[in-house]
Amino acid sequence: MPTPNSTERGKRRFDFKGVLFFFVLVIVVYLLAQATPIYLHRREMEDAARAVVQRAARQQLDLDDVKAQLLETARQSSLPADTRITLNREGRKVTALIAYDNSIGLPGKSWNWPVQLRIEDLGY
């Protein structure tokens, strides 16, 4: 006869650890599903911005035109509408600072994920 503290096979369908593990796994998968597109859009923006800044430095393009190109690239990369772009030129060197905030959240809680890209090209 089993003791009161022993567990018999089939006594419980779900144990606490199994249910807790399942919920933690669901939350991790959900957060990864939220973060992966954000990371991919960041990489896409970084690659495209690097090409725009390189072209701006080598061809001595006007910074207003470069900013317009970067804003269009940000829109195409599905970045937030409040993306902030700062450009600086020192001689042939062009520096772009692109900053924006992404929001990742669970149904009751959200986190801001600040992203800041700094891209430089010496123009040579």
Helices 63-76 and 16-59 cross at an angle (nearest 10°) of 150
Q: Is residue 3 part of a domain?
A: no
- Tens-place pLDDT, residues 58-95: 999 999 999 999 999 999 988 888 999 999 999 999 99
Q: What is the pLDDT of residue 9?
A: 61
2 belongs to a structural domain: no
Number of structural domains, the chain? 1
**pLDDT of the residue at 74:** 92
Residue 41 lies in a domain: yes
pLDDT at 78: 86
Q: At residue 74, what is the residue type?
A: A
* Band (6; pLDDT cuts 50, 70, 90): low
Rounded Cα distance between 85 and 74, Å, is: 10
- Token code pair at residue 54: 């390189």
Q: Which residues span the domain enclosing 112?
A: 16-121
Locus of tokens 């009751």: 108
pTM: 0.73
In a domain, 20, yes or no: yes
Is 97 a member of any domain?
yes
Is 7 within the bounds of a domain? no
What percentage of the chain exceeds 90 in pLDDT?
56
103 inside domain: yes
Closest residue by Cα to residue 94 from 65, 124, 56, 62? 56
- Structural domain contains residue 37: yes
Does residue 57 contact residue 122 with C-beta atoms inside 8 Å? yes
Residues 6+ apart with CB under 8 A from 124: 58, 92
Which pLDDT score, from 0 to 100, does residue 62 have?
93
Residue 80 DSSP code: -
Residues 25-61 have pLDDT tens digits of: 998 998 888 889 888 999 999 999 999 999 999 999 9
